[in-house]
């Protein structure tokens, strides 16, 4: 027993304790009163206001996104579809240890680094508690199964259904249709927030972008009871969305696929136009990519790979690629020479293999060493693709006539195709050179321009369009991808030229293919209709004076581009085609067979194109003259 | 029920004094308190079923926690108060040692180390101190002449201060304050002179601003600021308070009905089955439900106060009194934070919130109260 204990006074201590205890009880009652007062204040005084908030909390007006319009080819083949996709999201608040959960998911279904990166990036953005953050879009059936089986020990993991764009011909239509992708921070500012409420994607390129307005549709609304995770528990009211309009294209998916097949392994472009309508039957830019990858969100690595590939698969060569047209302009300038009266059809030159301007040393070479011989007419010059003839006639016409006729055929101008972006190419002129280069026009420039070299640049679409104008004897119909509902418009303009001159040029172009001396005669075997064409070779690098050009020694990337334009049947042209094979060297061997395949297929699929002219002319004679 | 008449005449508490033990007395149970606790536990399960989204899993687990708690209470009640008084230092020293252990070997979540894992069993040592500190203080002061002298107050304050300081380092400010408060209640009930109380108030006025500036971490400051203006951060820290306030208020006087509270059933209410369960009750049973629960709590407190007043020793009185007041503090802090008059600290609502640690700790305390209720008068 210590001293302290000895001094205790039990009675006094008990009284002291009772006093303190009663005082404490008083405080307890007061504090309990404060609590009751607080609950009374909330539940009675603020009852109305908080009830409204509660209703607003659970009753939500939420947008119902419209289904995006579908895209069909001319025969009703579906090119852009919507399919249900199962997406994996995580409600972070329910997930416990996030890193562990993701590691576990990685074991189950494999989670890539870029998916993780994207997930954490989205997690950093401001969001509501219990809002699911997507980790993986578009789970396959096996992954769905694995997740369903393991769901019980994956807290916070949710699988939701969503409509996703699907391109059955993802690679063959990637450049034409473009693709949709998630709306990014930059795009969101330009979009109507009401129309896009509930819509996650927008057209990024191609027709998906150009026709975004029609494809999107009108948003609907539903009043729903939701929980805090925005999961709809019950639907109360609904205004249906208006689905986006479907697009019906002039495109023929068979020709489109064939175009890619025939370009297999090469870099280049193919365009086919239906002459009667200006409708684009096929437009291919190779190499290509799979548009479906962009819909679900392409991985950063793969995107880098596509972006930095020297073959530039993301680049749409049909509308963005600009190439010197080379000899493919010769029919146009030939017509110009006849029409402008600079020469008559009887005009002939002797070709020594080069051309010299008066008082100038410089030799402008013909592609054929030693020349094409004597007495070369315009017909010969087109069939054999004689450069010297066109140097001579071009200089006689002057650049002004060349660029005037060039522009008649749409060279150096955008075709106006219904696509979001297009380059104009260049049809050089005095004014253009002054403006773009600040230099005066020299006669040497005219020499180069007369065979489509020098400053001249065209896109494959332009070239096809120019070919269609040649084929239709001057009728101008802007090319078009999406079929218009209303009746076909008459041509907006007609290039004035005499029938005799059209006949002359058509005959020369026909013999490029059908005559034994024609530069594209290799492709005429077995041809049961008349095809008109013109080869072209576009120089990639300049060749110095007196330097021999040796294709073997020039690296593949520096080899000439091969070009070919064609239309058929000559008697009543239905289809116009342009083909460019990058570094293909010769139009005759690399590009012309591609055009033949496309036109052959067209004749097979649309036999009425030939039926029109049966009887007018004996087809057997078409084999070769 | 051969003794039925006898029991009816004398309540079980007074039966101890008269030395005519009932069956309940033999096993050191205070029947009224036991019954009140059972009713509370029953109500708790009832609300939990709705709050957990009709989860049989949660209800079964909670039921087993109650079972374990009941066992703990029964065992604790058998320990004579004299034994508790003599060995009070053991849980105190043990608890402090574990707290030090937490600082070095603790397992953390969200930037705080609060858990210890021994043999696959996780627990929070700070919970032990909620009982161990008042027990230690009671044991220390009960044998000293009261009111305590300056020397004894001084040592008491040291005993009170050590565990909360260790808990603050984890950091867990809320629990630290609750532990300190439970110890302080002993000092107060033991008759801490009024001048010390005045001094304590003055000290608080000086220390609180300094704490705000230097003692609190960002998230703690944020919690307190959030309480004053929950709208400032609607989707972040303020979300819990806004949603629980809406849940309570929209319950009105008579509530939306069991399992029909939209706030809780639709998951707007966070932590609805643990710390925020009172909001579910308030939403589904309205002010009437809140008042009934408050009445139940107060009845328990009154019964405990009666036990403390009837206790046979100063140790018994102080222990019963301080545990009772601590029990009320939990109720006040929880109901206060959920309704938005106190900052959000992780304090469960006794017997209502889901969770084994809380129930077992509480039952341990009530076991001690039961022991006090049946203690025998000590010689001299």
Q: DSSP labels for A184-208?
A: -HHHHTTS-TTTTTT--EEE-SHHH
Please give the pLDDT value at position A426: 93
Please give the pLDDT value at position A161: 78
Out of A28, A42, A50, name the one closest to residue B301 (CB).
A28
Q: Which pair of structure tokens corresponds to residue A169?
A: 């011909």
Residues of chain A found within 8 Å of residue B188, distances taken between Cβ atoms: 20, 24
Whether residue A45 is contained in a domain is answered as no
Place of tokens 């040796």: A550
How far is Cα B208 from Cα A180, in angstroms, rounded to an integer? 58
Q: Which pair of structure tokens corresponds to residue B47?
A: 């609300």
Looking at the 3D structure of chain A, how many domains does it have?
A: 2
Confidence band, pLDDT 50/70/90 cuts, at residue A2: very low
Interface contact flag, A227 B248, Cβ < 8 Å:
no
Please give the pLDDT value at position B5: 41
Beta bridge partners of A274: A279, A575
Interface contact flag, B294 A35, Cβ < 8 Å:
yes
Q: To which H or E segment does residue A575 belong?
A: strand A575-581
Whether residue A91 is contained in a domain is answered as yes
Hey, where are the domains in chain B? Answer: 29-78+233-375, 88-216
Average pLDDT over chain A, rounded to an integer: 86
DSSP state of B340: T
More confident residue, A467 or A588: A467
Please give the pLDDT value at position A134: 79
Determine whether A327 is an active site residue: yes
C-alpha dist (Å) from residue A529 to A183, A572, A614: 50, 11, 10
Interface contact flag, B339 A51, Cβ < 8 Å:
no
pLDDT tens, position by position, A43-66:
999 988 888 777 766 666 667 788
Domain that holds residue A449: 253-288+314-616
Q: Looking at the structure, do residues A174 and A272 belong to the same domain, yes or no?
A: no
Mutate which of A9, A11, A13 to disrupt the B interface (most B C-beta within 10 Å)?
Answer: A13
DSSP B166-202: HHHTTT-HHHHHHHHHHHHHHHHHTT--HHHHHHHHH
Residues of chain B found within 8 Å of residue A25, distances taken between Cβ atoms: 301, 305
Confidence band, pLDDT 50/70/90 cuts, at residue A127: low
Please give the pLDDT value at position A57: 66
Which residues in A20-132 belong to E strands, given as ranges?
59-64, 71-72, 78-90
Interface contact flag, B267 A4, Cβ < 8 Å:
no
How many other C-beta atoms can be found within 10 angstroms of the C-beta atom of residue B302?
A: 16
CB-side exposure of A394: number of CA atoms within 13 Å?
Answer: 34
Which residues in A101-179 belong to E strands, given as ranges?
133-136, 157-166
Please give the pLDDT value at position A487: 56
Confidence band, pLDDT 50/70/90 cuts, at residue A126: low
How far is Cα A206 from Cα A212, in angstroms, rounded to an integer? 10
Q: Looking at the structure, do residues A257 and A241 belong to the same domain, yes or no?
A: no
Q: Looking at the structure, do residues A488 and A431 belong to the same domain, yes or no?
A: yes
Helices (H), chain B: 4-9, 12-18, 23-26, 31-51, 56-77, 81-87, 89-105, 125-142, 150-168, 173-189, 194-210, 218-228, 238-251, 262-265, 277-310, 314-338, 356-373
Average pLDDT over residues A341-367: 90
**Mutual angle of helices B173-189 and B314-338, in 10-degree steps:** 140
Contact A280, A273 (CB under 8 A): yes
pLDDT tens, position by position, A479-509:
999 987 655 667 777 788 899 999 999 999 9
C-alpha dist (Å) from residue A214 to A149, A209, A480: 42, 10, 16
Q: Which pair of structure tokens corresponds to residue A122?
A: 């989205």
Radius of gyration of chain A (CA): 36
Please give the pLDDT value at position A59: 61
How far is Cα B236 from Cα B246, in angstroms, rounded to an integer? 16
Out of B143, B250, B294, name the one closest to residue A50 (CB).
B250
Interface contact flag, B246 A28, Cβ < 8 Å:
no
Mutate which of B249, B253, B282, B317 to disrupt the A interface (most A C-beta within 10 Å)?
Answer: B249
Whether residue A416 is contained in a domain is answered as yes
Q: pLDDT (tens digit, 0 to 9) for every residue of chain B, 380 residues total?
A: 344 444 344 444 444 445 556 788 888 899 999 999 999 999 999 999 988 878 888 999 999 999 999 999 999 999 999 999 999 999 999 999 999 988 888 776 555 667 777 766 667 788 889 999 999 999 999 988 888 888 999 999 999 999 999 988 877 778 888 899 999 999 999 988 888 888 888 887 887 777 777 777 777 777 677 666 665 555 455 677 888 888 898 899 998 888 887 777 666 677 788 888 999 999 999 999 999 999 999 999 999 999 999 999 999 999 999 999 999 999 999 999 999 888 877 788 999 999 888 899 999 999 999 999 988 766 54
Of the candidates A240, A279, A238, A287, the one whose C-alpha atom is nearest the C-alpha of residue A263 is A287
For residues B225, B229, B233, B238, the Cα torsion angle rounded to the nearest 10 degrees is 80
Give the β-pairing of A180-182 and A475-476: unpaired
Residues of chain B found within 8 Å of residue A28, distances taken between Cβ atoms: 298, 301, 325, 328
Q: To which H or E segment does residue A374 belong?
A: strand A373-377
- CATH number for A125: 3.90.1310.10
Q: Looking at the structure, do residues A270 and A182 belong to the same domain, yes or no?
A: no
Give the β-pairing of A71-72 and A247-248: parallel
Whether residue A455 is contained in a domain is answered as yes
Chain center to CA of B6: 34
Q: Looking at the structure, do residues A113 and A135 belong to the same domain, yes or no?
A: yes
Place of tokens 């069993």: B121
Catalytic residue among A327, A429, A450, A588: A327
Q: Which pair of structure tokens corresponds to residue A335?
A: 């017509």
Backbone φ, ψ for residue B314 (5° rounding): -65, -35
How far is Cα B195 from Cα B77, in angstroms, rounded to an integer? 37
Q: Looking at the structure, do residues A240 and A370 belong to the same domain, yes or no?
A: no
Out of B249, B291, B298, name the one closest to residue A47 (CB).
B249
Contact A520, A533 (CB under 8 A): yes
Q: Looking at the structure, do residues A591 and A610 belong to the same domain, yes or no?
A: yes
Q: Looking at the structure, do residues A484 and A357 belong to the same domain, yes or no?
A: yes
Which residues in A211-353 belong to E strands, given as ranges?
220-226, 232-239, 247-248, 268-274, 279-286, 348-351
Contact A559, A550 (CB under 8 A): no
Q: Looking at the structure, do residues A257 and A121 belong to the same domain, yes or no?
A: no
Interface contact flag, A54 B246, Cβ < 8 Å:
yes
Q: Which pair of structure tokens corresponds to residue A11?
A: 């009675």
Q: Looking at the structure, do residues A187 and A274 belong to the same domain, yes or no?
A: no
Give the β-pairing of A475-476 and A354-356: unpaired
Whether residue A224 is predicted with pLDDT greater than 80 in this model: the reply is no
Please give the pLDDT value at position B31: 92
Of the candidates A179, A218, A225, the one whose C-alpha atom is nearest the C-alpha of residue A79 is A179
Place of tokens 């057997």: A620
DSSP state of A426: B
Residues of chain A found within 8 Å of residue B250, distances taken between Cβ atoms: 47, 50-51, 53-54
How far is Cα A273 from Cα A473, in angstroms, rounded to an integer? 15
Residues of chain A found within 8 Å of residue B269, distances taken between Cβ atoms: 228
B293 near A CB under 8 A = no
Interface contact flag, A17 B246, Cβ < 8 Å:
no
Q: Coil, strand or helix: which one is A452? A: coil
Q: Which pair of structure tokens corresponds to residue B316?
A: 């018994």
Please give the pLDDT value at position A587: 67
Q: Coil, strand or helix: which one is A89? A: strand
Contacts of A53 (CB under 8 A, 6+ apart): B246, B249, B250
pLDDT > 90: what percent of chain A? 53
Lowest mean pLDDT among A108-112, A439-443, B120-124, B154-158: B120-124
Q: Smallest CA–CA separation between A185 and chain B, in Å? A: 21
- CATH number for A462: 3.40.710.10
DSSP B110-170: TTEEEEEEETTEEE-HHHHHHHHHHHHHHHHHHTS-SSPPHHHHHHHHHHHHHHHHHHHTT
Which 359-378 residues of chain B touch chain A by CB within 8 A? none
Please give the pLDDT value at position A22: 94
Q: Looking at the structure, do residues A112 and A200 belong to the same domain, yes or no?
A: yes
Q: Looking at the structure, do residues A470 and A532 belong to the same domain, yes or no?
A: yes
Please give the pLDDT value at position A469: 95
Of the candidates B364, B369, B359, the one whose C-alpha atom is nearest the C-alpha of residue B40 is B359
Lowest mean pLDDT among A22-36, A355-369, A451-465, B19-33: B19-33
Q: Smallest CA–CA separation between A101 and chain B, in Å? A: 15
């Amino acid at each position: 027993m210590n001293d302290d204990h000895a001094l205790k006074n039990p009675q006094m201590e008990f009284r002291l304790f009772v006093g303190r205890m009663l005082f404490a009880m008083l405080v307890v009652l007061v504090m309990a009163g404060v609590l009751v007062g607080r609950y009374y204040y909330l539940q009675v005084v603020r009852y109305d206001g908080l009830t409204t908030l509660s209703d607003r909390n659970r009753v939500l007006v939420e947008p119902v996104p419209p289904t995006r319009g579908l895209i069909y080819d001319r025969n009703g083949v579906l090119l852009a579809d919507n399919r249900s996709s199962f997406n994996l999201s995580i409600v972070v608040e329910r997930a416990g240890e996030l890193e562990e959960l993701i590691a576990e998911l990685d074991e189950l279904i494999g989670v890539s680094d870029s998916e993780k990166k994207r997930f954490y990036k989205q997690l950093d953005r401001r969001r509501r508690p219990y809002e699911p953050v997507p980790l993986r879009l578009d789970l396959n059936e096996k992954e769905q199964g694995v997740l369903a089986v393991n769901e019980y020990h994956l807290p916070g993991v949710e699988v939701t259904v969503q409509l996703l764009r699907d391109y059955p011909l993802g690679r063959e239509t990637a450049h034409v249709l473009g693709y949709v992708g998630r709306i990014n921070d930059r795009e969101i500012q330009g979009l109507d927030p009401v129309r896009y409420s509930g819509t996650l994607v927008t057209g990024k390129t191609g027709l998906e972008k150009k026709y975004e307005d029609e494809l999107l549709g009108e948003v609907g609304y539903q009043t729903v009871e939701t929980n805090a995770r925005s999961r709809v528990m019950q639907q109360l009211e609904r205004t249906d969305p208006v689905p986006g309009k479907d697009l019906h294209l002039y495109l023929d998916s068979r020709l489109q696929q064939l175009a890619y097949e025939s370009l297999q392994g090469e870099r280049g472009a193919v365009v086919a136009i239906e002459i009667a309508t200006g409708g684009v039957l096929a437009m291919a830019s190779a190499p290509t990519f799979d548009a479906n990858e962009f819909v679900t969100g392409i991985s950063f690595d793969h995107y880098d790979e596509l972006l930095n590939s020297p073959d530039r698969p993301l680049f749409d060569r049909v509308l963005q690629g600009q190439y010197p047209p080379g000899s493919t302009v010769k029919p146009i300038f030939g017509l110009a020479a006849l029409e402008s009266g600079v020469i008559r059809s009887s005009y002939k030159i002797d070709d020594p293999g080069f051309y010299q301007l008066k008082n100038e040393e410089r030799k402008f070479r013909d592609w054929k060493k030693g020349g094409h011989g004597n007495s070369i007419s315009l017909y010969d010059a087109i069939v054999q693709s004689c450069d010297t003839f066109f140097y001579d006639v071009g200089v006689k016409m002057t650049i002004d006539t060349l660029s005037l006729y060039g522009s008649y055929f749409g060279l150096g101008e955008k075709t106006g195709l219904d696509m979001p972006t297009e380059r104009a190419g260049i049809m050089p002129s005095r004014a253009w050179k002054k403006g773009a280069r600040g230099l005066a026009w020299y006669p040497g420039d005219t020499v180069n321009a007369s065979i489509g070299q020098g400053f001249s640049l065209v896109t494959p679409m332009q070239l096809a369009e120019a070919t269609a104008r040649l084929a239709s004897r001057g009728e101008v119909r802007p090319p078009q991808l999406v079929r218009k509902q209303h009746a076909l418009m008459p041509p907006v303009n007609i290039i004035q030229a005499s029938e005799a001159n059209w006949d002359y040029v058509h005959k020369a172009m026909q013999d490029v293919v059908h005559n034994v001396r024609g530069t594209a005669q290799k492709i005429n075997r077995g041809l049961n209709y008349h095809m008109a064409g013109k080869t072209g070779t576009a120089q990639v690098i300049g060749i110095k004076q007196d330097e021999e050009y040796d294709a073997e020694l020039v690296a593949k990337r520096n080899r000439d581009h091969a070009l070919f334009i064609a239309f058929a049947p000559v008697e009543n042209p239905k289809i116009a085609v342009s083909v460019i094979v990058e570094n293909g060297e010769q139009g005759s061997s690399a590009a012309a067979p591609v055009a033949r395949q496309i036109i052959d297929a067209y004749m097979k699929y649309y036999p009425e194109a030939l039926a029109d002219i049966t009887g007018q002319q004996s087809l057997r004679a078409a084999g070769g003259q | 029920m051969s003794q039925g008449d006898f029991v009816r005449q004398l309540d079980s508490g007074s039966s101890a004094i008269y030395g005519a033990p009932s069956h309940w007395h033999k096993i050191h149970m205070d029947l009224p308190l036991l019954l009140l606790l059972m009713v509370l536990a029953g109500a708790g399960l009832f609300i939990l079923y709705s709050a957990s989204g009709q989860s049989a899993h949660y209800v079964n687990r909670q039921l087993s926690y109650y079972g374990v708690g009941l066992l703990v209470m029964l065992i604790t009640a058998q320990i004579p108060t004299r034994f508790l008084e003599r060995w009070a230092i053991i849980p105190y020293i043990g608890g402090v040692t574990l707290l030090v252990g937490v600082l070095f070997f603790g397992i953390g979540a969200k930037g705080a180390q609060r858990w210890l894992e021994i043999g696959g069993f996780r627990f929070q040592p700070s919970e032990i101190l909620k009982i161990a500190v008042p027990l230690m203080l009671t044991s220390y002061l009960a044998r000293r002449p009261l009111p305590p002298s300056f020397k004894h107050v001084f040592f008491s304050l040291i005993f009170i201060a050590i565990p909360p300081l260790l808990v603050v380092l984890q950091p867990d400010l809320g629990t630290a304050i609750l532990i300190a408060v439970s110890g302080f209640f002993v000092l107060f009930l033991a008759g801490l002179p009024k001048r010390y109380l005045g001094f304590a108030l003055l000290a608080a006025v000086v220390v609180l601003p300094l704490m705000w500036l230097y003692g609190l971490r960002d998230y703690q400051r944020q919690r307190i600021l959030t309480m004053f203006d929950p709208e400032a951060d609607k989707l972040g820290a303020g979300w819990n308070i806004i949603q629980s306030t809406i849940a309570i208020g929209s319950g009105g006087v008579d509530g939306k009905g069991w399992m029909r509270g939209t706030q809780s059933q639709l998951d707007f209410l966070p932590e609805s089955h643990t710390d925020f369960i009172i909001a579910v009750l308030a939403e589904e049973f309205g002010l009437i439900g809140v008042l009934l629960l408050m009445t139940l709590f107060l009845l328990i407190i009154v019964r405990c106060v009666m036990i403390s007043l009837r206790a046979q020793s100063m140790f018994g009185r102080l222990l019963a009194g301080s545990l009772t007041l601590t029990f009320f503090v939990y109720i006040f802090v929880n109901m206060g934070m959920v309704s938005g008059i106190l900052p959000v600290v992780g304090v469960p609502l006794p017997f209502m919130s889901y969770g084994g640690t809380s129930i077992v700790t509480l039952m341990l305390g009530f076991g001690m109260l039961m022991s006090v209720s049946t203690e025998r008068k000590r010689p001299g």
